[in-house]
Amino acid sequence: MPRLTGALEPRGSWQATGCSLARAIDVVSTRSAFLLLREACYGTTRFDDFAARAGISEPVAAARLRELVEAGLMTREEYREPGQRARLAYRLTEKGAGLFPALVALMEWGDQWLTEDGGPIGFRHRDCGEPVQVELRCAAGHHAGPGDLDVVHRR
């Protein structure tokens, strides 16, 4: 695990106020929000598809999608197919798409620790076909495990 440094050491001298993890969880705090974001990453856009594919009720899907739009993670637009009534389509914003690595990291953890067979879905690099994983890397390109990290205070 990482080592606390500088003003962060000893741990008893500070509290994690303004923690960005807490802020993130305040925005995406429900199972259904995670599953709707997953579906959006897979390309789902129609309201009916979101509810069915995430396996949640339509009222819950509607409430959650509204929250995700209000939080700036998705946009909502009307579309109309010939002869049909207007329907709503939802798409990830850049902010919403920014959660993709976190979703993959959670999925990888589930693959490793909560399945017998590595899980149903994997990601591959289109150019070379190799499997893709979430890694911790420093700006110099070194792979850095949790035990290789110092936690620093930015202010």
- The footprint of a copy of itself on residues 22-51 (CB under 8 A) is 22-27, 29, 31, 34-35, 38-39, 41-44, 49
Q: To which residue do tokens 């329907």 refer?
A: 87
The nearest distance, CB 47 to a copy of itself, in angstroms, is: 15
- Told to check if 2 binds a copy of itself by CB under 8 A, we report yes
The nearest distance, CB 63 to a copy of itself, in angstroms, is: 17
Of 85 and 125, which has the nearer Cβ to a copy of itself? 125
- Told to check if 136 binds a copy of itself by CB under 8 A, we report yes
Of 70 and 132, which has the nearer Cβ to a copy of itself? 132
**Residue 9 to residue 17: CA distance in whole angstroms:** 16
The nearest distance, CB 59 to a copy of itself, in angstroms, is: 20
Q: Are 40 and 96 in contact (CB under 8 A)?
A: yes
Select from 80, 81, 83, 117 the one that contacts a copy of itself (CB under 8 A).
Answer: 117
Q: 90: helix, coil or strand? A: strand
First to last CA, the chain: 22
Of 89 and 107, which has the nearer Cβ to a copy of itself? 107
Residues 54-113 contacting a copy of itself, CB under 8 A:
55, 72, 92, 95, 97-113
The nearest distance, CB 101 to a copy of itself, in angstroms, is: 5
Neighbours of 54 (CB within 10 A): 22
**Residue 22 to residue 17: CA distance in whole angstroms:** 9
Angle in degrees, 0-180, between the axes of helices 47-54 and 58-70, rounded to the nearest 10: 110
Closest alpha carbon to 46 in 87, 81, 80, 100: 87
